[in-house]
Structure 1
Amino acid sequence: MTDARPSAISIARLTTPIGVALLATDETGVLRAFNWTDYGPQMSAWLKRHYPATPPVEGAAPVAMRRAFEAYFAGEGGALAAVPWRAAGTAFQLGVWQALCAIPPGETLSYAGLAARIDRPTAMRAVGLANGANPVALVVPCHRVIGANKTLTGYGGGLHRKRWLLAHEGASFKDQLAA
């Protein structure tokens, strides 16, 4: 989804089994950013950098969006596919983020696999950087990208959350902590 500058951004809080989430939505009810409260300063800096003329205010998430997140955490893995999102990013980043949305719940993909999906098989590092720059985590499921050896790799919300999300979705991965 391409970016159009919002005229308003509101930040809502959502309690989840793995912490309190922050949902930044615009005046049309589109998700602009998602993160956890312990990463709130990073999200605020991202919003300020990309939407400097639109200071966020506390508010409520659209009811349908809140219900989609609640359904996801209640076990409906595909519930977040209906959440509308827009993100500021380069054409390459947007392409990676769109490709992430094609990874179904319960499945994972390596960085090399993701690079191949966007017809850039040698761009694994660039894909990794774009994956890490995803501002609408969970809805754009960057947590579904793991190492080529099926081990967990970094996640902006913390590896403990990535581990929980993948287990919640029934994905197969090698957990270094369980070894």
Structure 2
Amino acid sequence: MEEDTEHPAPARRGPHVRAPRDLAAGVLVAGIAAVALLATGDLDPGRLRAMGPGMLPRAVAAILGLAGLALIAAAFLKDGEPIGRWSLRGPVFISLAVIAFALTIRTVGLALAGPLVMLLGGAASPEVRWKELAIFAVVTTVACAGLFRFALGLPIPVLILPGFRL
């Protein structure tokens, strides 16, 4: 086999990213963890015997940060997929679902806000099966209303209509 002397391979310097998708995911996850740690900096973590409001969020953020660092390290150690094209459909519909929930939970209640959010969130996938999603949305909303409002007694409005409030 003859060596190509006209076009020699470029010399590699420093670490080489073998899994760009893993690297991007790791940076994103580690960034979210860093923001969470900064946001919970004022909360008292308490002690193990008397946990404070900051212990769980910080622990979850720390675990998330470790997972992000593991993804970043893996991107340099094992081969993976390149970053391909991605659609805006998912992020747009998930963002719309979050906004819809924020705007409807206090105005019409969980009975309408719940299914609306799940249907909008389901639209994020091109493979959505609407009939199954609608059934899931109704069953999940009934379960959430039963748990949060009636079992736990939280002041979450279930249904708000003119002249009627549950």
TM-score (norm 2): 0.31
Higher helix share: 2
Higher strand share: 1
